[in-house]
Structure 1
Amino acid sequence: MLGCVIHGQDDLRVEEVPVPSPGPGQALVAVRYGGVCGSDLHYWRHGGVGDFRLREPMLLGHEVVGTVVSYGAGASGPAVGSAVAVHPASPCGVCPECVEGRRNVCRDTRYLGSAARFPHVQGGFAAQVVVPADQLRSLPAGLQLRRAALAEPLSVALHAVRRAGDVRGRHVLVTGAGPIGCLVVAAAKAAGAAQVTVTDLLPAALRYASAAGADTVVRADDPDDAGWPVQADVAVEASGVAAGLDACLRRVRRGGVVVQLGMLPSGPSPFAGNLVVSREIELRGAFRFDGEFDEALELLASEPAFDELVSAVLPVEEAESAFALAADRSRSCKVLLDFGVLGTP
């Protein structure tokens, strides 16, 4: 079967990989769609993401949906043939973080398509993958696989908004209108935010943010744009660049909350730390998610507008073109790989 394997920086290959068999407690899933994530792009372009560096070839992909093929011994779950989304994380369950209910920062988690540990955890960009059976989630009624492929990034966005606290009736600033930033807009609106302002350098990205529900969009390189909030209550930094964090710290109100969601480059990052002190701003990190995955599926089922954020679907045979398109934010938002038979719906 075909899989999408990263061998190193700028070395992405679509190649034959072995068909897996489910072991005890595992399920075999026929993958239909896989979303190309920013971390997948980092592995492709830089050979790593943040502090996680490639040390061996790795199947990419952690945003995958498909249908159940079979189960291994002692495993059960949605019926064979059912449409499912795959929760990509397997926390250890015993570390202090897991015991405290913060499984998303488990120190010994296994996450699909991640080089955080060695040997790496192979990802889901293959025609069939084996995962723990308890990671399968049945799709809510009416939710099709194509839209369900947004469940993982939407979960990230939901967790970031949750880290911000109660946003009901609040003004939320989001810096960065990539796929995650746009989904933060939707998550903030779903959580009751009264106004959401989004900044980005690219007009195309801002159009996607508007489609996601942004009330105001602002060119990040225009400090005189009247759309900038004088004092946002909450800011979510989703661009992963220091300039975005700086904008959040300068635009949030005194005593406000800034959530750093975008993965900054490894090593020291400059930021306006004095503002954190003099304005008593709370700076919080947001990493992945846990139970928000089920919430994301319900939200996707209830809102067809999410379809507008899927800008392209390409067959796995064209993976390199799909990655190049996903990396070009002037032409795309969320790009999906299709692992189904060519020409099928």
Structure 2
Amino acid sequence: MLGCVIHGPGDLRVEELPVPVPGPGRALVAVRYGGVCGSDLHYWRHGGVGDFRLREPMVLGHEVVGTVVAVGDGPSEPLVGTAVAVHPATPCGVCPECADGRRNVCRDTRHLGSAARFPHVQGGFAARLAVPVRQLRPLPEGLGMRRAALAEPLSVALHALRRAGDVTGRHVLVTGAGPIGCLVVAAAKAAGAAHVTVTDLLPAALGYARGAGADTVVRADDPDDAGWPAEADAAVEASGAAAGLDTCLRRVRRGGVVVQLGMLPPGPSPFAGNLVVSREIELRGAFRFDDEFGRALDLLAAESTLDSLISAVLPVTEAEPAFALAADRSRSCKVLLDFGEG
């Protein structure tokens, strides 16, 4: 089978890989689509993401959907032939974080396509993927695989909104209109936000944000833009840039909440800490997600407008051009790899 393997910075290869055999409690999925994520791009460009660095070749990908084609011994649900989305995390279930209901920050989790541990956890950009049955979620009726490929990043957005608290009737500021930022917009509107303002440097990205439901879009490099909110009730930093965090801290109201969702560059990051103190701003992190995955699938089944965020679908044999396109935010939002089966 074909798989998409990263060997180092700039060294992305489409290789022949052995087809896995599902062991007890596992299922074999024929992957149809895989979404290229920002973390995949970081591994491709820089050989790592945040503090997680490549130490061996790794199959990329954690945003995957497909069809169950075989099941090992044990639980047989979902049945062979079922269209599924794959939850990429396998938390340990026994650490203090898991016991506290925060499995997304499990200290011993396994996450598809991640170099956070060694040996690395191989990812889902392969024609066949063997995963624990408990990680599979059947697609709701009427939800096609193409749109379902957005379930993982939408789950990230939904978790960030959960960390922000109740945004019903509130003004939410989102810095960064990449795929995750746009899905934060959709999640905020679904959560009842009265107004969502999005900032970015690129007009094309702001156009995608409007398509996701943004009420106001603002050029981040234009301080005189009339769209800047005087005060937002909550802010989600989705760009992964220190400048975005600074914007959130300066634009959120006193006593407001800022959620840092974008992964900042490794090492220390300067931020306006005095504002956190003098305005009693709550600064919260948001990392991955947990049980938001089912809610994401339901929301995708109901929101056909999110199709507009999928800007291109390329075959896995064109993985490098697909990554280059996904990295060019002036030309794309979410790019999918097509494995041609499922």
Task: Tell me which residue corresponds to 1:96.
Answer: 96
Letter of the 2:116 partner, please give it.
A
Q: Could you list the per-position Cα deviations for residues 313-342 of structure 1 after superposition, in whole angstroms to 9, with x for gaps in the alignment?
A: 00000000000000000000000000016x
- TM-score, normalised with respect to structure 1: 0.98
Task: Tell me which residue corresponds to 2:23.
Answer: 23
Report deviation, 1:92.
0.2
SS where residue 31 of structure 1 aligns?
A: strand
SS where residue 117 of structure 1 aligns?
A: coil
Task: Tell me which residue corresponds to 1:275.
Answer: 275
Task: Tell me which residue corresponds to 1:307.
Answer: 307
Return the alpha-carbon distance in structure 1 between the equivalents of residues 154 and 303 of structure 2. 12
Letter of the 2:72 partner, please give it.
G
Return the alpha-carbon distance in structure 2 between the equivalents of residues 255 and 192 of structure 1. 20
Return the alpha-carbon distance in structure 2 between the equivalents of residues 71 and 117 of structure 1. 27
User: Stretches of 4+ moved more than 2 A in 1?
Assistant: none
Matches within 5 A, 1:163-182: 163-182=163-182
Q: Could you list the per-position Cα deviations for residues 127-159 of structure 1 after superposition, in whole angstroms to 9, with x for gaps in the alignment?
A: 001000110100000000000000000000000
Letter of the 2:213 partner, please give it.
G
SS where residue 69 of structure 1 aligns?
A: strand
Return the alpha-carbon distance in structure 2 between the equivalents of residues 74 and 255 of structure 1. 51
Matches within 5 A, 1:143-292: 143-292=143-292
Report deviation, 1:112.
0.3
Task: Tell me which residue corresponds to 1:107.
Answer: 107
Letter of the 1:21 partner, please give it.
V
Report deviation, 1:73.
1.1
Return the alpha-carbon distance in structure 2 between the equivalents of residues 180 and 76 of structure 1. 33
What is the CA RMSD across the aligned residues, in angstroms? 0.7
Report deviation, 1:26.
0.5
Return the alpha-carbon distance in structure 1 between the equivalents of residues 81 and 333 of structure 2. 30
SS where residue 55 of structure 1 aligns?
A: coil
Aligned 8 A contact 1:27 1:75 in 2: no
Return the alpha-carbon distance in structure 1 between the equivalents of residues 139 and 23 of structure 2. 24
SS where residue 130 of structure 1 aligns?
A: strand
User: Given the alignment of the two structures, is residue 332 of structure 1 paired with residue 332 of structure 2, yes or no?
Assistant: yes
Aligned 8 A contact 1:88 1:111 in 2: yes
SS where residue 284 of structure 2 aligns?
A: strand
Return the alpha-carbon distance in structure 2 between the equivalents of residues 8 and 27 of structure 1. 30
Return the alpha-carbon distance in structure 1 between the equivalents of residues 263 and 121 of structure 2. 20
SS where residue 325 of structure 1 aligns?
A: helix
- TM-score, normalised with respect to structure 2: 0.99
Equivalent residue pairs, number = 342
Return the alpha-carbon distance in structure 2 between the equivalents of residues 118 and 71 of structure 1. 27
SS where residue 313 of structure 2 aligns?
A: strand
Aligned 8 A contact 1:160 1:184 in 2: yes
Task: Tell me which residue corresponds to 2:77.
Answer: 77
Return the alpha-carbon distance in structure 2 between the equivalents of residues 82 and 254 of structure 1. 49
Gaps spanning 5+ residues in structure 1: where? none
Report deviation, 1:77.
1.4
